[in-house]
Structure 1
Amino acid sequence: MFTGIVEALGRIDRIEAVGGDVRLTIATDGGYLDGVNLGDSIASNGVCLTAVALPPKAFVADVSVETLDATTARRWQVGTRLNLERALTPHKPLGGHMMSGHVDGVGHLVDKHVDARSWRLGFEAPPAIARYIARKGSVAIDGVSLTVNAVDKCRFEVNIVPHTWENTTLGGLSPGDAVNLEVDLIARYLERLLEARSESAS
Structure 2
Amino acid sequence: MAKWETKEKRMDDIVNAAVAVFLDKGYEGASMESIAKQAQISKGGLYHHFGSKDEILFFASAKLNEPIYEYVHLALKESDPVAGLQFYIRNYVSYWLSHQKELTFFFLTMIKAIATPEMWKAYADYYTHISDFIKTLYDRGISNGQFVEHNTRASALTLMSALDGVLSYLVMSENIDLDAVIGDFEAQFINSV
- TM-score (norm. length: structure 1): 0.26
- TM-score (norm. length: structure 2): 0.27
User: Which one has a larger percent helix, Structure 1 or Structure 2?
Assistant: 2
User: Which one has a larger percent strand, Structure 1 or Structure 2?
Assistant: 1
Larger-gyration structure (1/2): 2
